[in-house]
Copies of this chain bind each other. A is one copy, B any other.
Amino acid sequence: MAENEFVVTPWEVSGEIDYEKLITRFGTQKIDDALKERIKKDFGELHFMIERDLIFSHRDLIEYLEAFEKKEPIYLYTGRGPSGKIHLGHMIPLMFTKWLQDMTGATLLFQFTDDEKFLFKDKLSRKETLDYAYENMLDVIALGFKPENTKFIIDTQNAKTMYPLSLEVAKKLTLSTAKAVFGFENHTNVGSIYFTSMQTVPAMLPTIIEGKPTRVLIPCAIDQDPHFRVTRDIIPKLGYPKPALIHSKMMPSLRVAGKMSASDEESAIYTTDSEETVNKKVARAFTGGRATLEEQKKLGGNPDICSVCAYFKFFFEPNTQKLEKRLNAYRKGKVMDGENKQELAKRINKFLKQHQAKREKARSKLKKYLFKDIVV
């Protein structure tokens, strides 16, 4: 990999991501000031993640806003590949999705792609990915989603709805297109090649449920975009509107450059981590500090490479003025890593204490969220 190169696919994110370049590479649209204004006008407020360009890119968002403005029925669709526990990096698009739902009142279809994770992860069994799906649901419910307008689809458990519709997509998707979009090779298993057909289905369901062409917005991390390029190419040929997309950046790892990784336990904070674990992980976090305290007081820290600062920015300081103040103080050597870490750990633990309580309460409510198969 040449210097400054980076890889962003649904199955690999590596290198230091240049998000401006990614917009060009993927052919998406930047969320510019004019669009931010329109969102603010439509919804009455602007989420801090949009304000800070953590939600930074889109496809056809304007058409979706138009449908909202015209009070047409609109849907949200997001999902989760259940290959492990949920960490704070996963929570970002989820919390943003919750905000979108609060603003629009849209029904949310939430897909758990247990099939995908089974197919792409050598060591995971079907039972493990399914168990993770049910565990991950607790985190989603804990964020405040309501069963009235939030439906959880599990690919294997809702196969009676999902599989027949995925066939419609698969029939229109050639091997050469799948290879071009995802980079599949001869050693790829045939399930992995098929899978994107399943990821497309929830974008079709709103139109089937409503009985008329219905707009869908897909909030997702930018690495999932390739799936929906296939979706957007194929489903209009089947009579469904193209889904709109709104993309988030990836939350950085606590350890090194790159996104949080569910496979490196130390790089992420899980929603089920204890206070002690959080304290330990934050204490060991990679920062923008200098070699010595003295040097840092003199030269200041670098918030741009500091994972602790990133946590404030992405999640734990929703007030943008206060965030700027904190980052400036760090840059000027007025706040040291220790203080920053202590404050971050305190905020994370406060959040997790509440989240974990809601998460346990969610167990008894889970059934109400499960999507009931429909005739397709």
Cross-chain contact B170 with A119 (CB below 8 angstroms): yes
User: Which residue of B has the minimal Cβ distance to A179?
Assistant: B186
- The A158-196 residues at the B interface (CB cut-off 8 A) are 159-160, 162-164, 166-168, 170-176, 178-179, 184-194, 196
25 A-B residue contacts at CB 8 Å? Answer: A115-B163, A115-B164, A115-B167, A119-B171, A156-B163, A156-B164, A159-B159, A159-B162, A160-B160, A162-B163, A163-B163, A166-B191, A167-B191, A170-B194, A171-B189, A172-B189, A173-B190, A173-B191, A174-B190, A175-B187, A175-B188, A175-B193, A176-B187, A191-B194, A193-B193
B residues less than 8 Å from A160 (CB atoms): 156-157, 159-160
Are A190 and B186 CB-contacts (below 8 A) given A119-B170, A160-B157, A167-B115? no
Is A349 close to B, CB under 8 A? no
Is A152 close to B, CB under 8 A? no
Is A111 close to B, CB under 8 A? no
Is A197 close to B, CB under 8 A? yes
Cross-chain contact B186 with A175 (CB below 8 angstroms): yes
Is A118 close to B, CB under 8 A? yes
* Distance in Å: Cβ of A112 to nearest Cβ of chain B: 13
Is A297 close to B, CB under 8 A? no
- The A115-164 residues at the B interface (CB cut-off 8 A) are 115, 118-119, 126, 155-157, 159-160, 162-164
Cross-chain contact A174 with B194 (CB below 8 angstroms): no
B residues less than 8 Å from A190 (CB atoms): 170, 173-175, 178, 193-194, 196-197
With A and B bound together, what is the CA distance between A197 and B192 in angstroms? 12
Are A159 and B163 CB-contacts (below 8 A) given A194-B190, A197-B191? yes
User: Which residue of B has the minimal Cβ distance to A176?
Assistant: B186
Q: Which of A160, A189, A196 has the most CB atoms of chain B within a 10 A radius of its CB?
A: A189
B residues less than 8 Å from A119 (CB atoms): 167, 170-171
With A and B bound together, what is the CA distance between A166 and B69 in angstroms? 44
B residues less than 8 Å from A167 (CB atoms): 115, 118-119, 126, 156, 191
With A and B bound together, what is the CA distance between A188 and B196 in angstroms? 16
* Distance in Å: Cβ of A372 to nearest Cβ of chain B: 13
B residues less than 8 Å from A159 (CB atoms): 159-160, 162-164
Write the A194-206 contact mask toward B (1 if CB under 8 angstroms, else 0): 1011000000000
User: Which residue of B has the minimal Cβ distance to A124?
Assistant: B171
With A and B bound together, what is the CA distance between A126 and B192 in angstroms? 23
With A and B bound together, what is the CA distance between A185 and B187 in angstroms? 15
Are A186 and B174 CB-contacts (below 8 A) given A193-B194, A194-B194, A197-B191? yes
B residues less than 8 Å from A171 (CB atoms): 118-119, 189, 191
Task: Give the top 8 A-B pairs by smallest Cβ distance, nearest first.
Answer: A170-B191, A159-B163, A176-B186, A194-B194, A159-B159, A156-B164, A163-B163, A173-B190
User: Which residue of B has the minimal Cβ distance to A185?
Assistant: B175
Write the A80-119 contact mask toward B (1 if CB under 8 angstroms, else 0): 0000000000000000000000000000000000010011
User: Which residue of B has the minimal Cβ distance to A121?
Assistant: B171
B residues less than 8 Å from A179 (CB atoms): 186
B residues less than 8 Å from A178 (CB atoms): 190
With A and B bound together, what is the CA distance between A115 and B189 in angstroms? 20
Are A174 and B157 CB-contacts (below 8 A) given A115-B167, A194-B193? no
Q: Which of A174, A192, A194 has the most CB atoms of chain B within a 10 A radius of its CB?
A: A194
With A and B bound together, what is the CA distance between A231 and B135 in angstroms? 33
